[in-house]
Amino acid sequence: MKEKFSKEYGETFARLREQRHFLLTDFKAVGLSVSTLSRFENGEQILRYHQLDASLELMKIEVGEFEYFTNGFESDYFIEICNQIEEANYQKNHKKLREIYEESTKYNQRLISLATKNLLKELTPLEKAEIRDHLFAITEWSFFELSILSFVIEQLSSVMRASILKDFLKNNVHYMSVSKYREKIFQIICRAAVGEIHHGNREISQELLENVNMRLNIKDVFPRCMYLFVKGIWDYNYGEQASGKQEMEDAITVYTTLGNGVLASYYQGIYRQETKVFKKKNKKIK
């Protein structure tokens, strides 16, 4: 499988490079030797994601475009399924989620089945352990595994979340240079922070949010909105209620202004739930 993967990517890269009149020597500018790039194009070596991203950027090609070309102008099946799950989750389309769950269960696509079930109802301890064991065994993360992690991380235990994130961020910093992966990683960390907030772990959730904030740059529009919204949840629970509500409302306004009504509606629902839960919690304390 790895040889086939390398060969297809290498062949596509070589074709695009020749079409755009780039020489092998041109990629020395991004730290790639002629021999390394030649081996990649011949299917003998796999480039690290940050190397591939830098090379594609030199040719003015998006990573998503490159993957599209490599897959014969079709999206990768598993990534496409994850995109459908994400869209159904944002739209609160439980019917679609159940359909994906039933189909993935029928064809024994275990990770997709568990991730989708997790969005419909809580997983059992054994199912959570199964996902944990799979994620801990990953050495080379793909967008598929990152998507699965984004669906389940909020419901995992604090210990599981901490272990997975610590290991990932320590060994996969290069993913942060690829915009597609970067946005997904921010989503994962923000969702992890929400999980910690709900478990009353003030310092851990604050640390996760600070981790996102220090990595954000000027291009990170949607991740910044996500961060602002989750920071609002944190402030609402641990800081000033007024500023927390304002931050959540500001994030929703940005999504609305950008014309993304689905995300605006999704976060509006979370906003109502968060403020409702907090009020109930305060009543019990009194």
Supply the pLDDT for residue 2: 41
| pLDDT of the residue at 71 | 66
The per-residue pLDDT for 279 is 58
Spans of the chain below 50 pLDDT: 1-4, 73-74, 285-286
Contacts of residue 148, Cβ cutoff 8 Å, sequence gap at least 6: 82, 111, 112, 115, 131, 135
Q: If you write DSSP's letter for every residue of 243-270 in order, what string do you get?
A: HHHHHHHHHHHHHHHTT-HHHHHHHHHH
Query: What's the confidence (pLDDT) of residue 78?
Result: 80
Residue-level pLDDT at 286: 47
Q: What is the reported pLDDT for 48?
A: 79
The token pair at 110 is: 């275990």
Residue 142 pLDDT: 78
pLDDT of amino acid 282: 56
Identify the pLDDT of residue 219: 86
- The confidence score (pLDDT) of residue 72 equals 56
Identify the pLDDT of residue 3.
Answer: 44
Whole-structure pTM value: 0.76
pLDDT at 269: 95
> Cα–Cα distance between 181 and 20 in angstroms, integer?
25
Distance, CA of 226 to CA of 251 (rounded, Å): 7
